[in-house]
Amino acid sequence: MTTSGTASVLAMLGDGPMRDDVDRVAAAAGVRVVHAGEPSSRAVWTGAPVVLLDRVAAQRCVAHGLPRRDRVLLLSPALTSQDWESAVAVGAERVLHLPGQDGELVATLSAAPDGRGAGPRRGPAVAVLGGTGGAGASLLAVAIAQAAAEALLIDADPWGGGLDLALGNEGEPGLRWPDLRLSEGRLGYDALRDVLPTHRGVTVLSGGRMGTEIRPGPLAAVIDAGRRAGVTVVCDVPRQPGPATETAMRAADLVVLITPADVRSTAAAAVTGGWAGAINPNVGLVVRGPAPGGLRADDVARTVGLPLLVSMRPQPGLDGSMERGGLRVRARSPLATAAGRILALLRQQRVAVPG
């Protein structure tokens, strides 16, 4: 294999002996490695055919809010629980022990593509949560999924009563979270899609009616399966902090916070927005009318301290449609407009929050 004309593997490794091991393995695989303290740009991060990290570098990448991508490996001279936690946080495909697993690393580097590291473009992921109770996060998540060309809608709120009720497919056959017996690791999206209900073009993994806990490992695996398949992944996220909530938010290219345009909701959204921004810096605000006190969307965004993604008029006939078969987003309705704006931002740039 020749290295001419191919992109270089990006390695961010602080350990001197492990750097030497990587150089030796790369030479055996016939690929070129560039060592760096951190990526000089997002283009470097997404463009490398393979990224090799140690635990400290993985934590830095998470802190910088770098988007998830394929072919990220975490390397360690002595595997610890901290290594695994960092690997999950950054979205690493594998954790390898060097020098013990040289063969696996040679195989991965030898199979690396010559172009962009992500291969086929990964699907975007968006997490939606309410700035306050009853803000309409679940309905916005359903609207975004319905507006996408192909979507996987994930219910990450075990206490929400089941997102299938909002979508209107609670009577359709298929598995829900309580039925799935998943562990951490990679999932095939085709197999997953075959066992989940699909309604109006949206494949949905809903919660049940029993408040079953959603574990972060299986949730991360489901999100990753959808993204690798190139579909839009939409997570309905609860306001309660927890491992699963933070997993969904860290995996998202964009976290959407929705709040009604009133004083109390705005105050609550400011607290929720601060917490969300500490987990994922790519947070944007949707302000939902009506505004009983005349609050403008720009004023709400300024108070909350987040960029305004879209100001949404009240959705007419919402209560009636929810009682008659679930939400169905009509073209040019307020929810459809908001969903379209969010999807457009995701298409333009994976880290899509306007400055």
- DSSP SS3 for 233: strand
Model pLDDT, residue 288:
92
Q: Is the pLDDT of residue 321 over 90?
A: no
Model pLDDT, residue 151:
94
The 10s digit of each residue's pLDDT in 283-308 is 999 999 888 888 999 999 999 999 99
Calpha distance 286→354 (Å, rounded): 13
Cα 276 to the center of its chain, rounded Å: 13
Residues with Cβ < 8 Å from 285, sequence gap 6 or more? 131, 256, 257, 258, 259, 269, 273, 300, 301, 304, 306, 307, 308, 309
Model pLDDT, residue 5:
39
When comparing pLDDT for 342 and 330, which is higher? 342
Our CA dihedral for 189, 192, 194, 197, rounded to 10 degrees, sits at -120
Q: Is the pLDDT of residue 107 over 90?
A: no
Least confident of 86-90, 119-123, 163-167: 119-123
- The number of CA neighbours under 13 Å toward the Cβ of 158 is 16
pTM (2 decimals)? 0.66
Of the ranges 115-129, 224-238, 314-328, the best mean pLDDT one = 224-238
The 10s digit of each residue's pLDDT in 2-29 is 333 356 899 999 878 889 999 998 888 7
> What integer is the mean pLDDT of 116-139?
80
Give the pair of three-digit tokens for residue 212. Answer: 């079953």
Residues with Cβ < 8 Å from 72, sequence gap 6 or more? 50, 51, 53, 90, 91, 92, 93
User: Which residue segments constitute the domains of the chain, with CATH numbers given?
Assistant: 9-111 (3.40.50.2300), 125-350 (3.40.50.300)
How many CB atoms within 10 Å of residue 99?
15
| pLDDT band per the 50, 70, 90 thresholds, residue 339 | very high
Instruction: Tell me what the pLDDT averaged over the chain comes to.
Output: 83
Model pLDDT, residue 319:
57
